[in-house]
Structure formats: structure tokens, C-alpha cells
Structure 1
Amino acid sequence: MDTTHATDPADSTDPTDTTDPTVRRFDTINLIFNPHSTGNAPDLAAKLRDQLAQDLPYTPDIRMLPTEHAGHAVDLARQAAGTPNALVVSVSGDGGYNEVVNGVMAAGTTDTVCAVLAAGNANDHQRTTARQPLAAAIAEGQMRDMDLLHLTTGDGPDAEAVYAHSYIGFGLTPVVAIDMEKGNKGALKEMISVVRTFAKFRPHRIQHTDGTRAKIDSLLFANIPQMAKYATLSEAEDQPADGKFEVILFPHTAKWKVLLKALRATTTGLGDQPSVARYEFTTLKPLPYQLDGEVRSAPANTRVRVESAPSALTVIG
């Protein structure tokens, strides 16, 4: 839903008016960041804290919450969501925000609002969904709902479930990411790594629910229209709040054709893609996947289910 603050002079809504139910004033604002971030997260968090202390027309408890290890943001966000009327801000890239989102969702039914302040290398979500500078958005207090992707791997008591705010990719995307993580960062080295990985990449086989098997190069589920700064995945305009997600499937083909598709994604875009609320398949061999930038793997012979979680998260920014 679009709750963008009206700027028409005839609009009498005052963003500081506590009688307006669409305006949110928070009791606590939690800034979660990695103190060792390569994206200057500590300084960005401190700058936001100081700006909010100066600009907000009220005085919330602003908490600086540095993470101590991988996955710690999940715990910090879950604890913060246990406090009524809280805002949880992830000062991070897509991976850090993924942890915060999962922490808030793990807290169960709350009135917690989430936000992301871009820091780090991958900021696809903030880049494609932000409507205004975060400090100004918090001051106005205008919220909106956002869909999430809900991924379940396995069945029964051994099933694992996790949320993604932007995308889940199987096949070539996580394989490239794994290889890049092995080396040092840097544009030239990353490009060399991508070329090397692509040259030796082999397709993956999956089985659809109707029993048919398919050989794929890439299978991507997207809640946002763009990723990796330049790639336009679809032309959908209602993302990420339409109760569906886009499915971008690259069946196995010659490598030069895959390169042409990649080039098209970075220039004219891939065009309209199928939009669904649920997609299911079974892995036939271990299958790596990338979830908001974080690389994981699904075991062989595992049922994989991706579902839209409509309006699962309330956000600001």
C-alpha cells in the first residue's frame, strides 16, 4: 500500500500530529551494524543516530547495537522486536538486512517496523525500494507494507524455513558468488573470478512437481526488479507488495546464449517474467543458492518451496 506523505499544500495532515494513525512515533530506534564493516557502517550508524537526535520532533531511546559475530544480527533484531513500538534499522548491505528481517520475523506477531541504511558492497534492496532519505522518512513516520519471500527446504520436522527480502537464486548466481568469496575483493579480480567460474560451470538438474526433470543454468525468484546494480530482472511495477514474485528461469543452453541474456539484463532488461505466489521443485543433487547475497546449499533429493509472504513486514524509508 502506498502511504507516501502528501505534499499538497491543501493537505492538512501534520507529520508530527499524534492523532494521525498513519504517522508513527517510535519508543525505541535500534541501529544494528557490523563494527568491522568494510562499508563504514559504524560511522554511518553514528551519523544517523546524531541526525535523528537533532531532527525528530520527539525523543526516542536510540540504541547502537554492534554485532559480534555472523548471525548475531538475527538475535539482536529478535530481541529488539520484543520491545513494543520499536524501529529496527539495519546499517548494512543486503546480507545484514536479511539477518535483521529474519530476526524480526522470528519474534512473531509484533508492531516492529524495519528499515535499511545502505552500507557494504551489495545494496540492491535499498537501491530499488527506497523512496526518500531514511532520516527524513523516520521523521515523517510514514510506513508501508512489504512482501517477503519464504523459502522452505525439506519436509516434516527436519524442514528449514527462512525469509528473503529481495531474491533467492539457484544455479549460476551462487556458484559465481562462492568463487568470488575465495579471492580478494576488487573490480578486476572479481571480473576474472566470474569469467573463470563461468567457463567451468556445469548445469544443475531439478525435478518439477509434475515429475518432469529439467536441466537449468539459473533459477531466480525475485521480489525486486533489479539486482547486482545493473541487471533489470523484470518490468513488474508493483514489487515488492503485490503478493507475488517473479520467476526468471534460464534453461541450460550454450554458454554464449547465457552471456547474451546477461548482456540483455544489463542493457534493455529481461522484459516481462512469470509472476507467481508459489514455486516448488526437488533437487536431484546438492544445489547451491544465494539468499539476499548469502550463499547456502540445499542437499540432494530435497523439496524446495518458495512462497510469497504478502505484506509480512512493515517498513519505512
Structure 2
Amino acid sequence: MRRIALIVNPIAGDGKCLRKLPKVEKILTGARVEYTTLMTQSAGHAVLLAKQAAQDGFTTVISMGGDGTLSEVVNGLAGTTCVLGFIPAGSGNDFGRTFGLRSGDVEQACAVIIQEDVREIDLGYTEGKYFLNVAGAGFDAEVGHMANVWGKKYFPGYLAYIASILRQLVRFYPREMHIELDGRMVDTKAWLVAVGNGRFFGGGMMIAPAAEVDDRLFDVCVIGATSKLELLKVLPKVFKGDHVHHQAVKCYRASYVKLSSNSPMVTQADGEILGTLPREFIIAEQRIKVLLPR
């Protein structure tokens, strides 16, 4: 018998998540889905709630919030037998885009929960943190950090990321990077290196259009050194995945990625700032079970 814990971040999406909760409750109750609602109270709380839910015998844990909430729930469930579900109700909602789940569409997300279709997918791991979607270093990490501390205060949804991109363009510049990919060495000057398990980041940017979540490989996208004007031409193409055809962009596949640089470069995983390089990223040995669309 399914026992479901619904972990809700009430402040996700500037309160949009909490406003959508009654609709979610109505849909799940109407479908005779039994669940227990657990509210997060602070950053990091969803990790503890997910861990406790697994220990208390819940078989399925649903994350309702943004990608940050989802990341916390993943880190609480990693290594357990619980099934993960998610209702994208935050500002970015990038992980669900890989599977055609529309941001804020709670009816679609609830339908996936009701259908109970479970799929095992890969988890990334980097020095104490699991990630489900995209990690990396450089310009994207700086933009993500700025979006969290500044952009989301003034702009809704993907506009927070666009505004943060423009602001970071003033201060950021390409850095020399050393990239190790399953033993292959690549030295290059780059704006960013994205390590993708999923396809989207940054509020809808398809940075790794060929990524598959169950192939035991990362899709690694390197946007090499180019002028800021040229970068401005490349970035809009990322939303459709067309940036991969640009001469400054190189794509690789690997299960082990190590990034290092002589210059300070911020790193991130699923939007969470982790510190600076060097850093290793690996495909975790244990997968995670996730409720996904048919």
C-alpha cells in the first residue's frame, strides 16, 4: 500500500506554491490518493523531512516547490527505497522540463502521481551532495547565485535568470579550465562548463539537449571563450538547444568529470552554490525511483 508524504515549500515561487496547494489537495483527494502534508520551515528542512518520511515508512515522497526544494528532497531520499515524485510550483522548475512537465501545471503533475508510473534514473554526486539535474562551474553558477540573491526579488520566473545573465556579463570573463572526462584531458578557456544529467537549467535553458537521465553518463557542455557580444548571440539559442552548433561550444559525454582552474570559479549543483573549484562529479552507484510521465 502506498503511503505518501507531500513536502511543501510554502514560500517557493514567491508564495505561488502555497496558493496552488488547495488545487493539488482537491485533485489528489478526488482521486482517493491518501497523503500526509509536511511544510518546510527553513532552508534545508526538506532534507530532514524526506529522511524522516523514509524512516517513518512512507513509500513515496512528493516534493512540491521549485528545483531547490526538489534537490533537498532528493538528498533526503538518496540511498533509500522511497519513490520520488514532484509537483513543479517554484520559479525555475527545470528538472520537469526534461519530461515535458510544464512549470506550474499542477493538474499534469498530479496526474503523474495518480498514474504511479515509476522509472529508475541516475543521480549525480559531488563531494557530499547528490544532484538530479545539472551541475557545473563558471558563468552559469555565478548567474544562478545572482538569480537567487537578487534576480528573484525583482523578476518573475525565467526573467530573473535573464536579468542576472545581463548583470553578470558586466563583471564575468572566460577562465582557463582543466577538464577531466573519464581520463580524457581537455584544457580550454571557457565561460562555463555544465555537467548535465537532465537537459534544462537557468529557467528553461536547454543546456544539454541530448542528455538522458538513465544512460549512466553526463552530457557535458563547454561554452568556450568568445566575445561578450558573441556570447549574447549564443545564449538565446540555448533555450532551444541550438547553441550546440556554435563553433565555441563543445559537447562531451562521461561518467566522471573533474573541473579545476587556476582562477577562482564558483560551482553549483541543481542551483545550489557549493564553493569553488576544483570539484569532481560522478554518476552515483545507486539510482533513484521517480514518478514520471508515460
Match of 1:87 in 2: 60
Farther off after superposition, 279-288 or 120-129: 279-288
Match of 1:289 in 2: 267
Seen in structure 2, the aligned counterparts of structure 1 residues 83 and 165 have a Cα distance that, compared at 3 Å, is same
Q: If the length of structure 1 is used for normalisation, what is the TM-score?
A: 0.76
Matched, 1:127 2:103: no
Match of 2:7 in 1: 32
Instruction: Write 1 or 2 for the structure with the bigger share of helix.
Output: 2
- In 2, Cα distance between equivalents of 1:71 and 1:231: 26
Larger gyration radius, structure 1 or structure 2? 1
Match of 1:198 in 2: 169
- In 2, Cα distance between equivalents of 1:201 and 1:311: 37
- Contact 2:136–2:194 (CA<8 Å) still a contact in 1? yes
Residue 50 of structure 1: CA displacement?
Answer: 3.3
Match of 2:287 in 1: 312
Alignment of 1:1-317 (within 5 A): 25-26=1-2, 28-37=3-12, 38-56=14-32, 60=34, 62-105=35-78, 108=79, 110-129=80-99, 133-152=108-127, 161-180=128-147, 181-182=149-150, 184-186=153-155, 191-208=162-179, 214-236=188-210, 239-267=212-240, 269-271=242-244, 273-298=251-276, 303-309=278-284, 312-317=287-292
Farther off after superposition, 210-219 or 161-170: 210-219
- In 2, Cα distance between equivalents of 1:211 and 1:233: 22
User: Which residue identity is paired with 1:256?
Assistant: L
- Contact 1:176–1:197 (CA<8 Å) still a contact in 2? yes
Residue 280 of structure 1: CA displacement?
Answer: 1.3
User: Which residue identity is paired with 1:196?
Assistant: R
Unaligned runs of 5+ in 2: 102-106, 246-250
- In 2, Cα distance between equivalents of 1:197 and 1:274: 26
Deviations 1:75-109 (A, max 9, x none): 0011111133521111011111000000111xx3x
- Contact 1:233–1:269 (CA<8 Å) still a contact in 2? no
Residue 186 of structure 1: CA displacement?
Answer: 1.6
Residue 192 of structure 1: CA displacement?
Answer: 4.8
- In 1, Cα distance between equivalents of 2:75 and 2:8: 15
Match of 1:8 in 2: none
Instruction: Please state whether the residue corresponding to 2:216 is helix, strand or coil.
Output: coil
- Contact 1:84–1:111 (CA<8 Å) still a contact in 2? no
User: Which residue identity is paired with 2:202?
Assistant: A
- Contact 1:89–1:116 (CA<8 Å) still a contact in 2? yes
Unaligned runs of 5+ in 1: 1-24, 153-160
- Contact 1:85–1:111 (CA<8 Å) still a contact in 2? no
Q: Calculate the aligned-residue CA RMSD, in Å.
A: 2.7
Match of 2:104 in 1: none
Instruction: Please state whether the residue corresponding to 1:95 is helix, strand or coil.
Output: helix
- Contact 1:48–1:135 (CA<8 Å) still a contact in 2? yes
Residue 116 of structure 1: CA displacement?
Answer: 1.0
Instruction: Please state whether the residue corresponding to 1:286 is helix, strand or coil.
Output: coil
Matched length: 274
Farther off after superposition, 67-76 or 286-295: 286-295
Q: If the length of structure 2 is used for normalisation, what is the TM-score?
A: 0.82
User: Which residue identity is paired with 1:215?
Assistant: K
Q: Percent identity?
A: 26
Deviations 1:132-189 (A, max 9, x none): 923333333221111111112xxxxxxxx21111101210012123333235322677
Seen in structure 2, the aligned counterparts of structure 1 residues 235 and 102 have a Cα distance that, compared at 3 Å, is same
Seen in structure 2, the aligned counterparts of structure 1 residues 82 and 264 have a Cα distance that, compared at 3 Å, is same
Seen in structure 2, the aligned counterparts of structure 1 residues 195 and 42 have a Cα distance that, compared at 3 Å, is closer
